[in-house]
Chains A and B, each alone.
Chain A
Amino acid sequence: MSETKYTEEHEWLRVNAAGEVVIGITHYAQEQLGDVVFVELPAIGASIAVGSEVAVVESVKAASDIKAPLSGEVTAVNDKLHDAPELANADPEGEGWFFAMTAQDIAALDEYMDEAAYQQLINAS
């Protein structure tokens, strides 16, 4: 189990046993978004570039883009979100994960915040 990393875009990233990076939105993000009614996920096998729009969260309020935090290939998506988008609210950093990907440059992960730094940023906002 690796350390969880966080982006300024309110995503969390964690490397799983297979060496893939699992990505979802933070608890703070789901709170800000409100009730999630749909999550549009990328296709398995899709090649994604860092900063590109890779997923969309539709809440009762609005649609929000989720940007790819790394470049690489999508290896898995959380199908449970299709019928139970509310998982993104109920357990955003667990059962409500979005997708997994292989990273072209795994070292890029180190540039993201650790939990303490992320908490500090949220508290300051």
Chain B
Amino acid sequence: MWETAALPKLKDSSMTHTIKTTTLHALHQQHGARLVAFAGYHLPIQYQHGIKHEHLHTRQHASLFDVSHMGQIQISGADVLAGLQHLVPSDLDTLPTDHSRYSVLTNAAGGVLDDLIITPRTDGVRLIVNAACKQQDVACLRQHFGTDAAISLLDDHDLLALQGPAAAGALRDIIPAVDALRFMQAGQYHVNGVELFITRSGYTGEDGFEISLPNSHTQPFVEQLLCAEAVRLAGLGARDSLRLEAGLCLYGQDLTPDITPVEAGLGWLIAKKYRADEGASPCFPGAELLLRQLAEGVEKVRVGLRVSGRIPVRAGATVTAADGAAVGRISSGGYGPTVAAPIAMAYVPPSCARPGTALYAEVRHQRLALTVVPLPFVEHRYHTH
């Protein structure tokens, strides 16, 4: 998470100089961004109108997020998709070229090392991974593939997310061919002689696109996108509240090396071919434990929670049952501007996970009432057909 010390100390002007900036740094500043240190980068947490406004604008129109801190990894070589199959539980055999799949890298205990988007392309496989994990992921991939593949972190490329119901219209005005993309499809496009790699995906629950392009062309492309009346810049704050309402996991909070994909409600990621009746032998780390969890159940599961009243419940708060016994922990929590109420996600035992279950959270010595609700909090509106 970004630094949450909300009110800056006036006398504290310490600012480390090892923090990187993105290509759009000056543009962010021109647009009144409040920059914070996040995963080693100076990134906008919000612009002048604030998180709530940017959040609601995304759901009603479209927002452009600079997510260039994310890791873009290109794996090149023969049969690299088959090689990658050894690291993730998803079925990559059935993943066509230029189609994206959400997956996780697991450790030997079935815990999540990172979550990522995998897209096979004609020239290899493209991964989008978390900023804080990208060096570790590259090291892991290099060790796995050895000399069989070239693994490169595309530091010379930026990543933009254009999200919201007006995203397609705005992007179509520049690249008419993106109209043909459906949710989780990808394509390569040329604008003014520059190659753009675009996937119809995102992290808000809305229709939208993630656009990868060379650093040298980011600024003019962003300026062109911002000419569309519906498109405004939005920061990491809105990105977080949007993904929370969409019930999507944030790595480092809802997913960690101590949480398995089955516990996280991502059991659907595990390929059907590995289930007992299909019999393919699984080769990804932690397979045995994860398949056992699928068959026999887990001790904790991720749930959605509505909070009664107005006080937000934040990550780390203890969740208790009616008798006061601790049963779990909040993994993400905050205020949902579209829901117009505080919302949260937590890990609790399956016996406490049924929608309607009454639970409690301790916040500053007050007991707040929680109700388990189905996820997502706001319905996804992906462009699936």
Contacts and interface: CB of A to CB of B under 8 A. Distances in A.
Given A61-B237, A62-B4, A37 B10 contact: no
A58 B7 contact: no
A125 interface: yes
B52 A62 contact: no
Contacts of B237: 34, 60-61
A32 B6 contact: yes
Interface string B33-68: 010000000000110001111010000000000000
B362 to A, nearest CB: 14
Given A32-B7, A35-B51, A63 B314 contact: yes
Contacts of A124: 10
B51 A63 contact: no
B311 A38 contact: yes
B13 interface: yes
B209 interface: no
Contacts of B51: 34-35, 60-61
A118 B8 CA distance: 14
Nearest to B12: A125
B183 to A, nearest CB: 28
Contact of B50 (A35, A40, A57, A63): A35
B10 A62 contact: no
19 contacts: A8-B11, A34-B46, A35-B52, A35-B53, A35-B337, A37-B335, A37-B342, A38-B310, A38-B311, A58-B310, A60-B52, A60-B241, A62-B6, A63-B312, A85-B310, A122-B10, A124-B10, A125-B8, A125-B13
Contact of B312 (A32, A34, A38, A122): A38
A60 B11 CA distance: 25
Nearest to B51: A60
B11 to A, nearest CB: 7
A58 B11 CA distance: 23
A29 B7 contact: yes
A74 B210 CA distance: 52
A56 interface: yes
Give chain A's interface secondary structure class: mixed
Nearest to A56: B364
Given A34-B50, A34-B237, A9 B7 contact: yes
B6 A63 contact: yes
A82 B310 CA distance: 9
Contact of A33 (B6, B55, B311): B6
Interface of A: 8-10, 29, 32-35, 37-38, 40, 56-64, 82, 85, 121-122, 124-125
B334 interface: yes
Contacts of B13: 125
Contact of B10 (A56, A61, A82, A121): A121
Nearest to A33: B6
A89 B87 CA distance: 48
A50 to B, nearest CB: 18
Contacts of B46: 34
B9 interface: yes
A64 B310 contact: no
B7 to A, nearest CB: 5
B10 A59 contact: no
Nearest to A124: B10
Contacts of A64: 6-7
Contacts of A57: 6
Interface string B1-44: 00011111111010000000000000000000010000000000
Given A37-B342, A40-B364, A60-B51, A10 B7 contact: yes
A32 B314 CA distance: 19
Contacts of B364: 40, 56
Contacts of A33: 6-7
